[in-house]
Structure 1
Amino acid sequence: MRVVIADDAVILREGLARLLEARGLTVVAAVADAGELKRAVAEHAPDVVVVDIRMPPTHTDEGLRAALELRREHPDVGILLFSQYVETRYVKDLLAESAAGVGYLLKERVADLDDFVDALRRVAGGGTALDPEVLSHLLGGSRGALDGLTPREREVLALMAEGRTNDAIARRFVVSGRAIEKHVANIFAKLGLPPSGDDHRRVLAVLRYLESA
């Protein structure tokens, strides 16, 4: 898997590159600003990019705006926002058409490198990895389309938004896979997502979750 890292903090940038290389990933570029990021993606055609939100020159939202451009110009490249800040501006635009291939993790909440690599692989493969705290801010406390969900169904949907499989969710709650399948089926039904044989219903459910803000 080919990765581009964009972060203006040189120690984090180079350190993360070495850690990912040690896990068998290929870091084709590690850059410090949004302009270099766009050039690196055009040159190397990576599977996924890791992007800090706040980068030079203003250290506000350059990384996020660059991610939006990459989403439009290189739709096959997975995008994992990796920041110490929760910034909801533009994030819904990033997820507007599909949450597939998009992730947003908070630096301070990543305690295990294997979990980070797993999230990176999911995003590169077209999956989703959204931190629960990010989801909480995106929802803004609004219930909206989620009114009919039970508390456990909301918890299951939040884990789906992180990109977790049914088996992983079952292990988290220490229940059977069949129990989680029932919760997921109920979520699809309550959100108006009829059976289609298409795994993208999980992504559509996550988008309904985000749209409820």
Structure 2
Amino acid sequence: MIAEDGVLFREGLVRLFEGAGVEVVAAVGDAEALLAAVEADPPDVAIVDVRMPPGYGTEGLVVAQRLRQGFPDLGLLVLSHHVEAREAVQLIGDDARGVGYLLKDRVSNVLELVDAVERVAAGGVAIDPDVVVRLLGRQPVRGPVATLSGREREVLALMAEGHSNQAICQRLHLSSRTVESHVRGIFAGLGLPATGAEHRRVLAVLTYLRS
């Protein structure tokens, strides 16, 4: 489902997703309409703009928070020109799984957007690096993240963007063994329990965002 007040952009998204083989079950123009549509027939993923009618404030994020509480298995992808740090952190809450936040003007191609939707639908994370930077603000790194090496923090930042180990290898021009070693170092440095690797990645991202 798509919630976007700009009719041209909304219809453009519908055509892009349908052309990529993604079924769009509803496309609405305001946050309350999205809430009603999800309650009537929950989709796999809801894409939400931030500033929507009637007030063009943070209605989209407010409804996204309500959906996250009422439909914990629903993937939520915020797609906006704006970063609202406080509401974004509230949306992520204690579990970043199934949440994404992308900036419209930084989505470079359809496949990138479809990949983010698929990741969020599968319970993964898709956060634009600019969003991460703005969430962190200008505060110094604190807590256990400060104990990590510079390279480990670099790897962790890419994990926060939703990259797999293989994608991190390509971005940093490192071997898979080296990246795996850095990831293990991150888990150890952050004191994360020996649960599933994907769950620990999410916990690591949460720790990073709160640092």
TM bucket normalised to smaller: over 0.9
Query: What residue number does 2:86 align with?
Result: 89
Q: Does 1:188 align with 2:187?
A: yes
Q: Report the structure, 1 or 2, having the larger helix content.
A: 2
1:80-103 CA-to-partner distances (Å, cap 9, x unmatched) read: 000001111221111112000000
Query: What residue number does 1:70 align with?
Result: 67
Query: What is the deviation of 1:141?
Result: 2.6
Give SS of 1:92's match: helix
1:161-203 CA-to-partner distances (Å, cap 9, x unmatched) read: 1111101111111221111101111111111114334420000
Query: What residue number does 1:128 align with?
Result: 125
Equivalent position amino acid for 2:150 in 1: P
Q: Does 1:31 align with 2:25?
A: no
Distance in 1 between residues matched to 2:198 and 2:114, nearest whole Å: 22
Equivalent position amino acid for 2:21 in 1: G
Query: What is the deviation of 1:132?
Result: 0.8
1:84-123 aligned within 5 A? 84-123=81-120
Equivalent position amino acid for 1:90 in 2: E
Query: What is the deviation of 1:106?
Result: 0.2
Distance in 2 between residues matched to 1:100 and 1:197, nearest whole Å: 13
Distance in 1 between residues matched to 2:97 and 2:138, nearest whole Å: 24
Distance in 2 between residues matched to 1:184 and 1:98, nearest whole Å: 19
Alignment size in residue pairs: 209
Query: What residue number does 1:137 align with?
Result: 134
Distance in 2 between residues matched to 1:157 and 1:90, nearest whole Å: 22
> How many percent identity over aligned positions?
54
Give the structure-1-normalised TM-score: 0.95
Instruction: Give the gaps of 5 or more residues in structure 1.
Output: none
Instruction: Give the gaps of 5 or more residues in structure 2.
Output: none
Query: What is the deviation of 1:114?
Result: 0.4
Query: What is the deviation of 1:152?
Result: 1.8
1:89-129 CA-to-partner distances (Å, cap 9, x unmatched) read: 22111111200000000000001110110011000110000
Whether the 8 Å contact between 1:28 and 1:44 is mirrored in structure 2 is no
Give SS of 1:27's match: coil
Q: Does 1:204 align with 2:203?
A: yes
Distance in 2 between residues matched to 1:94 and 1:21, nearest whole Å: 27
Query: What is the deviation of 1:44?
Result: 2.4
Query: What residue number does 2:154 align with?
Result: 155
Whether the 8 Å contact between 1:80 and 1:104 is mirrored in structure 2 is yes
Q: Which of 154-163 and 51-60 deviates more? A: 154-163
Runs of 4+, deviation exceeding 2 Å: 194-199
Task: Please provide the CA RMSD for this pair.
Answer: 1.1
Give SS of 1:103's match: strand
